[in-house]
Amino acid sequence: MQEIDFGPIRFIPGPNRGKYPYCHSIFIPGDGILIDPGADRQRLKQLREKEQVREIWLSHWHEDHWMHLDLFDDLPLRIHPADAPPLAGMDAFLDAYGITAPAFRRDFACILETQFHFRSRMPRADLTDGLTISLDSVTVDVIHTPGHTPGHLCFFFRQPGVLFLGDYDLTAFGPWYGDRDSSIAETITSIERLRRIEARAWITGHETGVFTEPPGEIWDDYLAVIGQREGALGRFLRVPRRLEEIVDQWIVYRKPREPLDFFRFAEAAIINKHLERMMRVGIVRAETDGYRMLA
């Protein structure tokens, strides 16, 4: 993938099409703003050394969106207030994911420290919904889009008409809402809000990265994944099933992936969101021998 300039903003692709553990980054050269420093480390080092990076903005608190933040730790860091707490320390970060198993906490903490250069940070939590930031080279509208995380942000760059979608990434995998404080309902609301915004180009944090034609049916397909997961789960729950049995179906990730502990955790986290939602509306019940579909 190639870097692309849209007037005053630059799309910087991550390795492997920006798939986890990487993401695509946005750079505003005229103002030195770097958004989501999870792209290629050497390229970000070049930016640090050869261009004047002045501030880092994060779309949200997940590690793939700040993997190379250590290169810029002396610069101001800005985020939405709801997503600042996980960055304060390792325990807060793991808690925000909902990771409770001691062995997994220990192993994931090691990965965060070695691969993602984790360290405690206290960002300026001042990027809030409806905020308009008039930079020298571009005007930016800050859009709060909770669901993926409580404080997930998207950014609309007015002059080039570019909408940065962050982790509402329009991939075939569909939306991710597996954190302790993620919400399927808020995810749906945020997607519907984003698809109504008129733009000339759309940039996502992963995979395809750049859309220069209206996503149209891609939005429909992305949103439909939520219902497809729920439908598959409902069919499997025609007889009572324990959570371990449900996870073994790989309804979300479709097949086992490595590292297995991480993806089993993520599968269970997303499945639990669906179970909570389905129990809330009364179509699933928790019984002594597992969860069962009622309708």
Q: Is the pLDDT of residue 239 over 90?
A: yes
Residue 262: both structure tokens together: 């991480």
Cis link prior to 256 (omega < 30° from 0)?
no
Q: Is the pLDDT of residue 204 over 80?
A: yes
Confidence of residue 295 (pLDDT cuts 50, 70, 90): confident
Confidence of residue 138 (pLDDT cuts 50, 70, 90): very high
| C-alpha angle 240-242-243 in degrees, rounded to nearest 5 | 130
Span(s) in the chain for CATH 3.60.15.10? 4-215
Structural class in CATH, domain 4-215 = alpha beta
Extract the runs of DSSP E, i.e. beta strands, from 161-280: 162-164, 201-203, 210-211
Extract the runs of DSSP E, i.e. beta strands, from 83-217: 132-134, 139-144, 153-157, 162-164, 201-203, 210-211
Percentage above 70 pLDDT, the chain: 100
- For residues 289 and 243, is the Cβ–Cβ distance under 8 A? no
Cis link prior to 21 (omega < 30° from 0)?
yes
Average pLDDT of the segment spanning 100-108: 95
Q: What confidence tens digit (pLDDT) does each residue in 250-282 have?
A: 999 999 998 899 999 999 999 999 999 999 999
Q: CB neighbours of 131 closer than 8 A, spacing ≥ 6? A: 141, 142
Q: Is the pLDDT of residue 200 over 80?
A: yes
Q: Is the pLDDT of residue 30 over 80?
A: yes
